[in-house]
Structure formats: C-alpha cells, structure tokens
Structure 1
Amino acid sequence: MKCNYCSQMTNRNLTLAEIFLPKKIVSEQLCSQCTQKFQLLKTKGTCQGCQRQTQNRYCSDCLKWQQLYPQYDFHHEALFSYNQAMQEWFEEYKFKGNYRLRYSFVSFLQAYFKQKRGFIVIPMPISKERLAVRGFNQVEGLLEAAEIDYQPYLVRFADGHSQVTKTRSERLQLVQPFELTKEGQKVVSNKSILLVDDIYTTGRTIFHGAQVILENHPAKLYTFSLAR
C-alpha cells in the first residue's frame, strides 16, 4: 500500500474486518514514519475547557469564554497538536486542495467517534464563496473519509475570509457568521450534539457555531477538532 501523505510504499497487516469486508479496506493511510510526525495531545495536565497544556483547571482563554458564555458547560476535545507537521499537512489538504489527504487520519477519527455514539455530528460550514474556490468543505471531507454520519444543520451566511492572515485580536472580534437551518432548529432541541471543526485556535469560530446551537436548547453540546 502507498502512504497517503509521502506516497512511499508501505506494508501493514490487514484487520479481520478488512479481510472479510474488502470494501472497508482503506488503501491510503499514513506510513509509520509520517504518523510519528504528528503529535497526539495529552489528556492529563490540560485545560478542562479546550485541552491546552496547563496546570490549572482552565486556561486564561477559557476563563474569558466562561465570562461570555456563563450558561455553557464548554468542553472541547482534539486529537493532535497543531505542530509544524500538522501545519504543513493542512497547507497541502486545505489550501492546496489535495483532497486525497482526507483519508490520512481515518483510523484516529473512527476510534474517537466510536466513543460518541448517540451524538448528532454537525460539521462547521464554510461560505459559498469559500466552497467555490476550494471545491470542498475540509471538515466534511474528513468525516466522509472516516464514514462518520453527519448533518449539515449549520450554515455560514457571511463570506468567510481565511483566518490564516488574521491576527489573534482580529479573530476574537469577528461577528456571528452562522445560523441553523430550519430543520436543524427543530432537531437539535434536547439532543446530544457534537460540533466538529478542523483546527481550534482562539476558539472564536467554534464558539460562534456553539452559540446558535445553544439558542435551540440541546441536551448536551460538545465540540471537537482534529488539531488544536
């Protein structure tokens, strides 16, 4: 098999599921060398709000978010650190449009979402303008590659300029760009919701998404990103 990222040939043992269900074989996974470049986040010694490394219960950012959203029991989880290797991977996938890379973290995503059965998964949307340029929603691509069911209940009505060029303060000052679809407004009430993004930086984007979902009174709302 060929590594999804570096394209080098690699060998691995097939699982029983792949042997008896050949359609489930994912031929494009990371080789061991590429996998080692990506740093899994620790679960101990981290902020209970956003998983940032800290010896305190909450980091300074999450203390500020608690002041803005006092009724929201915020809990965000991520799999990987947004280190240099992950930045380069996102450059290839998200900005250069290498859509094949959506398969890179399938096994990690499937293991995580297996623990979240019963949740309605809602991906963070991108604007129509951004979709026209990029050609795909990077979050939906990751979920589809990992065969994770999701519902596109959240839409972005404001043009989404890339946040890569924005400073931290500029990101925090962004106005609400999201809204729930009419179907979403009916469904999320009293349901367990998992809001999914690709990268967590300041938290501003995902809190905007969470805000419109909270207005429709879900039973539980957690958030998740591939990296932070």
Structure 2
Amino acid sequence: MNCNYCHQTINRNLTLKEIFLPQKILSEQLCSRCMKTFQLLEKKDSCQGCQRQSTQTAYCKDCLRWQQIYPNYNFQHEALFSYNQAMQEWFELYKFKGDYRLRHSFVPYLQSYFKQKKSFLAIPMPISKERMEVRGFNQVEGLLDAAGIPYEPHLIRFAHGLSQVQKTRKERLSLKQPFKLTQEGQKAVLNRDIILVDDIYTTGRTLFHGAQVILANHPAKLYTFSLAR
C-alpha cells in the first residue's frame, strides 16, 4: 500500500483483522515520514478553553473574550493537531485544491478520539450551497465519513461569504450569524450531549456561532472539536 499523502510505498506487517478482513485495510494512511511532519497537540500547558499551546494563564485572551460574550456557555474545545506549516499544506491540497482522497489521512486519530465520545451526537460544521458547488464536498463530513464516524448534519449555513482564509482576524471576529438548525435538528439536540465538529480552529468565531444556535435549543452538553488548531 502507498502513503495517502506522498504516495511512497508503506511496508509493514498486517494485523490479524486486516488479514481476515482485507476490505478493512487502510490503504490510504500516512507513512511514518509524513506523519512526523504533523504536530500532535498536548493538553499540558495549553488553554483550558481552546487548547492554544504555551499560554501562561488558564485561559488565553481570546477565550477570556468569549467568556464575556457567552457567560453561560462553559465551552470546551479540543483539537488533535497544530496548524503548522505541514498541516497548512495538507489543507491546501485537501480543502482548496479538492484532493478528496486525503480525507483518509488521519483516520486512526479521529477514530481514537471519537471512541471516547460515543454518547455524543456529532454535528459537522456546514458549508454554504455556493461553496459546495465550487468544492464539491464538505471537508468536515469527508473526514468523518472516512473514519466511519456517525454524524447528523442538522446545522445549515444560509449566508455565503469569503473563505475564512481570505478574511483578516478583525473580519472573522465581526462575522454575523450565518447558521441555523433544521427543524429536525431543533428536536435532535434537546437534552443530548453534542459535539460540534470543524476542520480548523483559528479565532473560534465560526464554532461559537454554531454553538450559539445549538445552545438556544438546550442540549445537555456541548463540546467542540477540530482536526487542527
């Protein structure tokens, strides 16, 4: 099998599961050389709100601001990887150049994380109809599909605008509410443990907009998650 990213041959011994269930072989995983370029995040010495690294206080400045805006929301965000140069380049290929095969790259890590969240209803962050027409897929749903993680797309993006990458920090933070829940979603989140899933956490503005809509419909718990931070 070949590396999902660099396409070099991966040599390793198969597990018993892969021998007897060959259809389960992850033929599109990352090789060890590529994997070393991605940096896993540590919870130690990180912000308790958003997992920003190397903060000197319990909460970073951004999260202190979010606490003022959403005083009744005990938010908790978790991410797996740092948005370093390697991750930026990976997202450029996957998200912006449309290499959909790359959705398999981090399957073992996603499966390991969501195994601990089995009681939670996963809701992916949506993209607009206009973005879907251009890209052809929702990058968050692609990651979840590849990892076999069940989810329910109850959140809808009704407002279209520039990609977050094209916005300045000030523009991102001043973004108006672009999301709403479906009628089915309003019932589905009531008294449920919810995990709102995105691809990248930057300022947190997009996820907090999504969280605001869900909180209005009274979930039991609401956590947020992203592949990268």
State TM-score, norm by structure 1. 0.98
Q: What is the CA-CA distance between 1:16 and the residue it aligns to?
A: 2.8
User: Partner of 1:50 in structure 2?
Assistant: 50
1:66-215 matches, within 5 Å, as: 66-215=67-216
Encode CA deviations 1:12-60: one digit per residue, 9 max, x unaligned. 2222322232221110100000000000001101001000021311101
Name the aligned partner's letter for residue 193 of structure 2.
Answer: S
Q: Which residue is 1:20 aligned to? A: 20
What is the percentage of aligned positions where both structures have the same residue? 75
Q: Is the 8 A contact 1:126 1:160 kept in 2?
A: no
In structure 2, distance between residues paired with 1:115 and 1:20: 26
**Aligned residues of 1:189 and 1:216 also touching (Cα < 8 A):** yes
1:9 pairs with 2:18? no
Tell me the secondary structure at the aligned position of residue 164 of structure 1: helix
Q: Distance in 2 between matches of 1:86 and 1:174?
A: 25
1:111-166 Cα distance to aligned partner (Å, 9 max, x none): 11001111000000000000000000000000000000000000000114211111
Structure 1 stretch displaced more, 21-30 or 89-98: 21-30
Q: Partners in 2 of 1:17 and 1:211 — Cα distance?
A: 42
**CA displacement 1:87-125 (0-9 Å, x = unmatched):** 000000000000000000001100110011110000000
2:226 equivalent to 1:225: yes
Q: Which amino acid aligns with 1:62?
A: C
What secondary structure does 2:196 align onto?
A: strand
What amino acid maps onto 2:29 in structure 1?
A: Q
What letter is aligned with 2:168?
T
| 5+ long unaligned stretches in structure 2 | none
User: How far 1:207 moved relative to its partner?
Assistant: 0.3
1:69-101 Cα deviation digits (max 9, x unpaired): 001010000000000000000000000000000
Alpha-carbon separation, structure 2, partners of 1:160 and 1:227: 22
Q: Does the CA contact (< 8 Å) of 1:18 and 1:24 recur in 2?
A: yes
Number of residue pairs aligned between Structure 1 and Structure 2: 228
Q: Deviations over 1:176-208 (max 9, x none)?
A: 000000000011010000000000000000000
1:82–1:227 CA contact under 8 A, matched in 2:
yes
Which whole-Å CA distance do the structure 2 matches of 1:9 and 1:173 have between them?
A: 46
Contact between 1:191 and 1:218, CA under 8 Å: does it hold in 2?
yes
Measured after TM superposition, the shift of residue 11 of structure 1 is: 1.0
Q: CA RMSD in A?
A: 0.8
> 2:175 and 2:220 mapped to 1: Cα distance?
27
